Structure 1
Amino acid sequence: MVTAIKGWVREAISKVAEVNPVTVLPPTELDNLAVPFYEMAAIDEYSGKLRDAAIVPLRDCRTGKTKFQNGDVLFAKITPCVQNRKSALVNGLPGNFACGSSEFYVLRPGKRVMPEYLFYFIRQDPVIHAAVESFIGTSGRQRVPRTFWDRLEIPLPPLPVQERIVQILQKADEIRQKRKQALELAEAIRRTVFYDMFGDVNPNSGRWPTGPLNDLLNPEIERVNPAKAFPNQEFTYIEIAGIRDFRIAETNRLLGRDAPSRARQVVRAGDILYSMTRPNLRNIAAVPEELDGAICTTGFAVLRPRMPQDGPFIFEIVKSDYFTQAMSQLAASKSLYPAVDEPTIRHFQVIHPPAPLRTHFGSVANQLDSTATELRTSLLVAERTFASLLSRAFTGELTAEWEEANAEWIAQQQELHERLPQLLILALLAEKAKRASRTAAVVLVTALMKYVFLLQMEGSASRRRLYHFVPYHYGPFAKELYSDLEKLQEEGLVRVDNDAEEEKTKITLTDPARIDAALAVLPDELKQDVATIIETYGDLDHNALLNAVYEKYPTYARKSRLKQKGRSSK
């Protein structure tokens, strides 16, 4: 279906990317091979990157796991991971293989869509909302059905336009992530300052006096029933769900008569709100000046410092791993509901350093908080900019003027993209001939197949999947490569000779001058990649080349005749 944007079309995701593609695993004698394994928690939902993997033996990946490779896009299929944007672009896998949770969909982009373009597309709010609306299954275990990818359409501009969109989004995304890292660093410095001043709170490495947390707190706070006290007036209500990243990120404005039965506690600036339900989630926040006088749910323990300057010290104590673990254990002991009560929190033993030292920490922490506030504002601007760009990227609005001004160049680049696999074949053959000091060196098709595969795995071409390689008798095999060789032969650029007696197919360049002219449009980074591949692997004989491929990419040794000969000779 053609869109209103010239050169753009709409296609179902399943038409331009394989959904849960079949991955052939190495033979069973490699069952002890160390393989990266990614649980759902390994995806950083903010950046869409895979974090540190567990390492498991290959045998553990044979059943019940998803299998993926560099260039694939992962998308969580189960609630609440879908809503939490558990999606990732896979890259940097050693051996080009990993396995992961069965709750991932694996999307393997074809030639018409860039992996990065697909990745950003599925992270949009409209796609997340559509995925949630498609859920099937029982409550709490609802999943996105496989048919979702048959219904979800992606707008596809020409590949040069996709590259332009990706470049813009990547730059904005990079700024957003760097500002988040700066904010996290500021918060880490605060924790470091606390540790430097007071040491580890468990054990009490500073050997400070200890006592109940309550000794540092006011014993009582104000309570009110808004429905009776001011039924026709509005008030600000703070719920546990409004706490994010140790801040009050969201509040509600309600009329007194509409107040929930749990809206009873009046808070003041500097109070610390500690969620008594599921303390392991650390829904903890300090009340800022602008929320002085607001009302919070009774699900919070309201911790009001006896001395206001103790606020930062108390805040750091209740956020600590030690305090969280202790409260979580106490909550877990409850038979029906994982929660602690306020007396338990107040009577918990904590360190009591001298008041002047606590005050000094509060002064330093307030300065750091001021810096963090500026960084948070900067991050918010970056996030809004990224969200705006993302919302415009797939409508054509983001690049409309650029496309109009560069229409001729885009057409040329699109032609280059479509011609690229054939040009890389020519470049590899030409580089091989150059290093052999002959104008027309003979290259076996099995060797050429490996050179193209290695170029796709290790060079700049890895950003696009040029060919779909599968394990075969002599390593990675792509049948489309034969079609491109036929086209090059029809153009008079190569000669393909099938030697029936030796069961070999030999490739020879036929017109060096025309080939040089054709390769003039090949980007310099790809020319360098070609030179590197031939320099690294070009002098290896047939068996050595295959062994090099199998050692680096063992998943492609599954049907190898070379490996079978090795086993039969033992």
Structure 2
Amino acid sequence: MTAWPMVTLGELMVKRAGSVDPAKHPDESFDLYSIPAFDSGLPDVVVGAEIGSSKQVVRTGDVLLSRIVPHIRRAWVVGSERGRRIIASGEWMVFRSDRIHAGWLRHVLVGDLFHSQLMQTVAGVGGSLMRARPAHVATIEVPLPPLPEQRRIAAILDHADALRTKRREALARLDELTQSIFIDMFGTELANAGGHVPLGEQLSFLTSGSRGWARYYAESGEIFLRIQNVGDDELRLRDVAYVDPPSTAEAKRTKVRVGDVVLSITADLGRTAVISEAAAGGYINQHLAILRSDRFEPRFLSRVIASPAGQRQISAKSRGGTKAGLNFDDVRSLLVPCPDRTRQRHFVKRVENIEAIREEGLSALTELDTLFASLQSRAFRGEL
């Protein structure tokens, strides 16, 4: 193990990066490193007239670290000049020094050890107002190996991280394949509105969750499904709550079975998922509805609602403004195609084959994530 010297981030942090008010240059185009642009990997190209506030002036090779929750674990190296001035949101902390290799510092700033220290500097009143405090971040110490060693380790970590990125991209392609199969098999029915039937005529059971479940929250027990557990035709069980349910008719009414389709009917409308064995016997909150049918294969029904045609109908029926929602009549009146069960089962079988491959991919990605975290830890201890 190599004993590297430590340096406080304050020694690398840019205290006064300089600023520019783009509104004073309305016709000039800027490369804007914003928090939302991070996921695309490229800065936004925006004219000054469209930028509403002053921004930091940054340089190629600067390392940016987000200080805003929930985007706290984001670090970005400013890319090369593209013929425009480069500016950045004030939500970034900026680091610059000829003592660091930018790729090395970026890996340090997204590593588990630094992240746990960074979260100790966060303050605010909750939600999007929670931010890391730069003055406190400046006191955190990070290792500082010689520059050639920084470059070597950054190259190793970059290569390992690229393998994880490729795995995620492959999983995203599988999700696209499911949608393509659905369109290939049922595109004609989706386009032919004359062959659609009201969803309510095909349902044997429709209900929504109720309020007041907070008193039954528990460390373990039955799964309690909330809106974050339902995606785009996907059940998400990585972050679930548990309840010790009461023995009441109200509780029994909102208990889910294998094969139920759950639909979000308030807030973020139109999310769907099919209840699996892992979630069976759980309960739903007031933002979700249970759809039960003897005429549809659950996976087919969930995909129909999640399809662009289904989502357009839901958007058209949305009631209210900031608290948009669907009532039972809205749900029942959704028009859906109703192909024979043989074709529906054929679709489900193809989806199940894809999901088996996806599960293998997720398992491999989890292993890669574990190995990458171990590799980072060893790198920062000087063991690579």
Mapped pair 1:340 → 2:326: yes
Question: What is the Cα deviation at residue 144 of structure 1?
Answer: 2.5
Does 2:286 match 1:295?
A: no
Task: Quote how far apart the aligned CAs of 1:19 are.
Answer: 4.7
Q: Aligned residue for 2:263?
A: 274
Partners of 2:16 and 2:315 lie apart in 1 by: 39
Residue 323 (str. 1) matches residue 313 (str. 2): no
Which residue of the other structure, out of 274, 277, 282, is the alignment partner of 1:286? 274
Residue identity matched to 1:16: L
1:187 Cα offset (Å): 0.7
Partner of 2:226: 239
TM superposition shift of 1:153 = 1.7
- Could you give the per-residue CA deviations for residues 181-202 of structure 1, whole angstroms, max 9, x where no partner exists? 111001101111222233388x
1:16 aligns with one of 12, 36, 59: 12
CA distance in 1, matches of 2:107, 2:354: 34
State the Cα RMSD in Å.
3.8
Give matches, 1:11-160, under 5 Å.
11-19=7-15, 21-22=17-18, 32-44=27-39, 50-51=41-42, 53-57=43-47, 64-82=54-72, 85-95=73-83, 97-108=85-96, 110-139=97-126, 140-160=128-148
Shift in alpha-carbon separation, 1:300–1:61, aligned structure 2, 3 A: closer
Deviations 1:52-102 (A, max 9, x none): x443235767961233333222222323322xx343233254237433433
Which structure has the larger Rg?
1
Partner letter of residue 110 of structure 2? R
- CA deviations 1:207-260 (Å, max 9, x no partner) are 55112223343325799999xxxx9x943333333446723223345444699x
Given the superposition, is the C-alpha separation of residues 208 and 118 from structure 1 closer, same or farther in structure 2, using an over 3 Å criterion? Answer: farther
Equivalent pair of 1:267/1:295 in contact (CA under 8 Å): yes
User: Could you tell me how far apart the structure 1 residues matched to 2:251 and 2:76 are?
Assistant: 40
Query: Aligned ranges for residues 178-257 of structure 1 at < 5 Å?
Result: 178-199=166-187, 205-207=191-193, 209-220=195-206, 234-243=221-230, 246-250=234-238, 251-256=240-245
- Indicate conservation of the 8 Å contact 2:203/2:293, yes or no: yes
Cα pair 1:263 1:298 within 8 Å, conserved: no
CA distance in 1, matches of 2:280, 2:149: 51
- Choose between structure 1 and 2 for higher RCO, CA contacts under 8 A separated by at least 6 residues: 2
- With over 3 angstroms needed to count, the CA separation of the structure-2 counterparts of 1:362 and 1:70, relative to structure 1, is same
- TM-score of the pair, normalised by structure 1: 0.57
Aligned residues of 1:183 and 1:375 also touching (Cα < 8 A): yes
Partner of 1:393: 379
Confirm or deny that 1:370 pairs with 2:359: no
In 2, Cα distance between the equivalents of 1:76 and 1:222? 39
- 1:166 is aligned, of 144, 151, 154, to 154
The correspondence for 1:352, drawn from 335, 338, 344, is 338
8 Å Cα contact 1:208/1:351 also seen in 2:
no
Following the alignment from structure 1 to structure 2, what is the Cα–Cα distance between the partners of residues 316 and 62? 40
CA contact (8 A) 2:112 2:373 kept: no
* Distance apart, 1:330 and its partner CA: 4.4
State how many pairs are aligned. Answer: 374
Read off the aligned partner of 1:384 and give its amino acid letter: T
User: Could you tell me how far 1:180 is from its partner in structure 2?
Assistant: 0.8
In 1, the alpha carbon distance for the partners of 2:247 and 2:15 equals 48
Residues 278, 10 of structure 1: alpha-carbon distance in 2 compared, 3 angstrom cutoff? same
- Alpha-carbon distance in 2 for matches of 1:208, 1:113: 65
Deviation at 1:328, TM superposition (A): 4.7
The AA in structure 2 aligned to 1:79 is V
| Structure 1 SS opposite 2:46 | strand
- For 1:274, what is the secondary structure of its paired residue? strand
Moved more, 114-123 or 207-216: 207-216
Partners of 1:305 and 1:221 lie apart in 2 by 12
Distance in 2 between the 1:343 and 1:75 partners? 48
Task: Judge conservation of contact 1:70–1:96 (CA < 8 Å) in 2.
Answer: no
Code of the aligned partner of 2:302:
F
Please list the CA deviations of residues 349-407 of structure 1 after superposition, one character each: whole Å capped at 9, or x if unmatched. Answer: 2333444433332232222222222222222222222233334432x1xx42x5xxxxx
C-alpha distance in 2, partners of 1:380/1:307? Answer: 37
Q: Which amino acid aligns with 1:39?
A: S
- Specify every segment of 5 or more residues in structure 1 that has no aligned partner in the other structure, as ranges: 403-570
- Structure 1 residue 118, shift from structure 2 partner: 1.2
Cα distance in structure 2, aligned partners of 1:106 and 1:222: 48
Q: Residue 352 of structure 1 aligns to a residue in which SS?
A: coil
- How many percent of aligned residue pairs carry the same amino acid? 23
Shift of 1:119: 1.0
Q: Which residue of 2 aligns with 1:447?
A: none
Q: SS where residue 236 of structure 1 aligns?
A: strand
Q: Secondary structure at the match of 1:18?
A: coil
CA contact (8 A) 1:272 1:315 kept: yes
Instruction: Show the 5 A alignment for 1:474-485.
Output: none
> Where in structure 2 are there 5+ consecutive unaligned residues?
none
Closer, same or farther: CA 289–211 of 1 in aligned 2, 3 Å: same
Please say if residues 121 and 137 of structure 2, whose CA atoms lie closer than 8 Å, have aligned partners that are also in contact: no
By percentage of residues, which structure has more helix?
1
Q: Structure 1 residues 31 and 278 mapped into 2: Cα distance closer, same or farther (>3 Å)?
A: closer
Structure 2 length-normalised TM: 0.81
CA distance in 2, matches of 1:223, 1:37: 44
Shift of 1:147: 0.9
